[in-house]
A and B are shown apart, each in its own frame.
Chain A
Amino acid sequence: GEDVEQSLFLSVREGDSSVINCTYTDSSSTYLYWYKQEPGAGLQLLTYIFSNMDMKQDQRLTVLLNKKDKHLSLRIADTQTGDSAIYFCAEKRTGGGNKLTFGTGTQLKVEL
């Protein structure tokens, strides 16, 4: 099947920038999403990007999309302890209905 891969773990110091990476294999992806999951909770949509865009910025969040390399990243500026969570990228594919394929998740730990 088609996989969406993420690195498992990222540790940063408070105030630094965090960059979480995601690679996908299906070139027919239409939308790509970033979700945040805190312990024992559901998913919170952070941001999304349409596949014909290269970049989207929303306050502290910057999404970069390299469609040629099928690479998506999420940059969190001025990372805070409250940003500690698991971050999932997800893709929606052409013809896939409304289903999302989720990445493996990246555990972000913010240290003081």
Chain B
Amino acid sequence: GAVVSQHPSRVICKSGTSVKIECRSLDFQATTMFWYRQFPKQSLMLMATSNEGSKATYEQGVEKDKFLINHASLTLSTLTVTSAHPEDSSFYICSARELGKTESGEKLFFGSGTQLSVL
């Protein structure tokens, strides 16, 4: 099956610093990638939809200036948490939709997630 690689898997940073998380589709091209946030023992909350070559679409309540998303190529999307604070500590997961796939029966492929801890 299709593979989505997400790096780093775990990062610890100081408050006020910025952290970049990468999401790569390894064996397919992804026109659309999604970024989710998951708190312990809770469900995934969609943060934003990233489309190659265009601006990301953010969900209500998500600060676009804080969570910068760049989808510069068909295989790479990045999420940068700017000026991170302890409340940004969470598990971040990306997913990707393969180019050419229609909505009918499409599958999203998920990365393995990034655990961010802000001290």
Contacts and interface: CB of A to CB of B under 8 A. Distances in A.
A103 B49 CA distance: 19
A100 B108 contact: yes
B110 A43 contact: yes
Interface in B1-44: 4, 6, 9, 32, 34, 41-44
Interface string A8-26: 0000000000000000000
Interface residues of A, number: 24
- Say what secondary structure dominates the interface of chain B: strand
Interface stretch (B64-72, B76-84, B111-119): B111-119
A104 to B, nearest CB: 5
Interface of B: 4, 6, 9, 32, 34, 41-44, 46, 49, 93, 95, 97, 103, 105-113, 115
Contacts of B49: 97-99
25 contacts: A4-B43, A31-B105, A35-B110, A40-B113, A41-B113, A42-B93, A42-B110, A43-B44, A43-B93, A45-B107, A45-B109, A45-B110, A88-B44, A98-B97, A98-B103, A99-B46, A99-B49, A100-B46, A102-B43, A102-B44, A103-B43, A104-B42, A104-B43, A105-B42, A107-B41
